[in-house]
């Protein structure tokens, strides 16, 4: 079921578990996209260079660690923003705002995605420090697949109106 092509591998797999720590995302500078600590509000790289310090804002990007099962093994992969949006269905900023109102949103999103089947293309990290295979593309295999945020809005919407 797997096809190797250079350092890329395409396989069919199911999501077994999603690590929902940090609300699935991390903060970055909105200009250079370097990651920022939660306590800093400005990027020191951009603020140093800009004529008006404080002009750089922050935003969030998805970074999701998940366990996936192929037909032969279970292993951990990491999804970055572009791929994660396919699974979640909105931007990391939107998701973060949603999870401020609904503190268990990230855990619930993980539960919603558990068991879904995908065709994923994985790439071996070029940088020796990266420990996990990286997901470079993801295609849902179930025709009725819906991004997690749709199910979450429904779930929490029902709870709010009842
Ligand atoms: Zn910056």
CATH number at residue 20: 2.40.50.140
- Tell me the residue range of the domain where 71 lies: 3-24+63-161
pTM recorded for the entire structure: 0.85
Per-residue pLDDT tens digits for 26-63: 999 988 999 988 787 778 888 765 555 555 688 999 99
Instruction: Tell me the CA–centroid distance for residue 132 and ligand 1, in Å.
Output: 26
Instruction: Tell me the CA–centroid distance for residue 25 and ligand 1, in Å.
Output: 17
Instruction: Tell me the CA–centroid distance for residue 113 and ligand 1, in Å.
Output: 32
Largest CA-CA distance found in the chain, in angstroms, rounded = 55
Nearest to 76 by CA among 142, 128, 133: 133
Q: Would you say residue 102 lies in a domain?
A: yes
Instruction: Tell me the CA–centroid distance for residue 91 and ligand 1, in Å.
Output: 19
Instruction: Tell me the CA–centroid distance for residue 58 and ligand 1, in Å.
Output: 8
Number of domains in the chain: 1
* CA 113/CA 117 separation, integer angstroms: 9
Residue 147 — left, alpha, or beta (φ > 0 → left; ψ -120 to 50 → alpha)?
A: beta
30, exposed or middle or buried, with CB in 10 Å at 0-12, 13-18, 19+? middle
Q: Would you say residue 90 lies in a domain?
A: yes
């Amino acid at each position: 079921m797997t096809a190797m092509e250079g350092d890329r591998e395409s396989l069919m797999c199911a999501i077994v578990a999603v690590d929902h720590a940090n609300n699935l995302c991390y903060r970055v500078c909105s200009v250079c996209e370097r990651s920022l600590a939660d306590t800093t509000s400005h990027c020191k790289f951009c603020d140093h260079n800009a004529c008006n310090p404080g002009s750089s804002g922050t935003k969030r990007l998805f970074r999701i660690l998940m366990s996936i099962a192929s037909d032969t093994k279970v292993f951990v992969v990491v999804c970055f923003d572009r791929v994660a949006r396919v699974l979640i269905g909105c931007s990391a900023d939107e998701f973060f705002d949603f999870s401020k109102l609904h503190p268990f949103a990230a855990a619930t999103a993980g539960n919603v995605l558990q068991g879904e089947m995908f065709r994923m293309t994985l790439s071996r990290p070029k940088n020796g420090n990266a420990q996990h295979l990286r997901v470079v593309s993801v295609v849902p295999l179930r025709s009725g697949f819906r991004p997690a945020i749709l199910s979450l809005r429904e779930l929490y919407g029902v709870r709010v109106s009842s």
